[in-house]
Amino acid sequence: MNAPTLEFAAVAPEPALQQTASKQFHVLEHHPENGTLLGFWLYLMSDCLIFACLFATYAVLGHSYAAGPSGKDLFDLPLVAVNTSLLLLSSITYGFAMLTMQQKQMRATLIWLAVTGVLGAGFVTLELTEFAHLIQEGAGPQRSAFLSSFFTLVGTHGLHVTCGLIWLVTLMVQLGMHGFSEANQRRLQCLSMFWHFLDVIWIGVFTFVYLMGSMA
């Protein structure tokens, strides 16, 4: 008597399973909470290292006049005091811009940002005027190690302020186009940290370079 034969037939997948397998899943971009702010803090720390090196260089070369003029001969403290006031006031007006942003007042935010930009532009203009005056008097960066370190330190700070102004104008355009989106609010917070950081650096420049240099 022959043994029974077992036969296995391939079972086709059910249509419902095929439809489930063919479903498309949309991947949403996930932005880590405070990820941008943390990354920007790391950038500011790297910028601190740059300015620390420039301050250290000036501390070493600040008295190498090469028989040329010193800071006491060159610095115009009243002009520098006006310039310092412009930058410190711009930090206050930016703070007002952040307050109005939190209250979702678009017009007031743009006005305070514009005032901040005008004050920052005034700071850069006075700094360039000072540089032009020094160069006309023959006290350019090639004159001595003191002037080379001075132009490098102060000029690097001025370059940062100029980049901040470009960033500020760009953000004002983005606010006008997209409003108080989450991304724009993060960008305003990052620029706020950058702007206040430049104020702190300038206080160091004003004290260490101008005040102490005028008394040397």
**CA 77 to each of CA 18, 51, 90: distance values in angstroms, whole numbers, following the listed order:** 80, 22, 20
d(CA 135, CA 79): 17
Helix and strand counts by DSSP (H, E) for the chain: 8, 0
* Secondary structure class of 62 (helix, strand, coil): coil
**CA distances in angstroms from 85 to 24, 207, 216, listed in the order given:** 59, 14, 24
Give the whole-angstrom CA distance, residue 175 versus residue 32.
22
Residue 72 to residue 87: CA distance in whole angstroms: 23
Give yes or no for residue 19 having a pLDDT over 60.
no
Per-residue tokens: 85: 């006031």
* pLDDT for residue 31: 53
Q: What pLDDT is recorded for position 27?
A: 43
pLDDT(173) > 90? yes
Task: Pick the closest to residue 168 from 194, 143, 146, 144 (CA basis).
Answer: 194
- Which tens digits make up the pLDDT trace of 85-119? 999 999 999 999 999 999 999 999 999 999 999 99
Length of the chain as a residue count: 216
* Amino acid 1: pLDDT: 46
User: Residue ranges per domain, the chain?
Assistant: 43-52+73-215
For 162-177, what is the mean pLDDT? 96
pTM to 2 decimals?
0.82
CATH class for domain 43-52+73-215? mainly alpha
Q: What does the longest C-alpha to C-alpha distance in the chain come to?
A: 123
Q: How far apart are CA 125 and CA 131, in angstroms?
A: 10
Residue 10 pLDDT grade (very low, low, confident, very high; cuts 50, 70, 90): very low
Burial of 110 (0-12, 13-18, 19+ CB in 10 A): middle
Phi-psi region of 4 (alpha: psi -120 to 50; beta: other; left: phi over 0): beta
CA-CA-CA-CA torsion sign (127, 128, 132, 138): positive
- Measure the CA–CA gap between 46 and 104, rounded to whole angstroms: 33
CA dihedral 124, 127, 129, 133 (to 10 degrees): -160
Banded pLDDT at 165 (limits 50, 70, 90): very high
Confidence of residue 179 (pLDDT cuts 50, 70, 90): very high
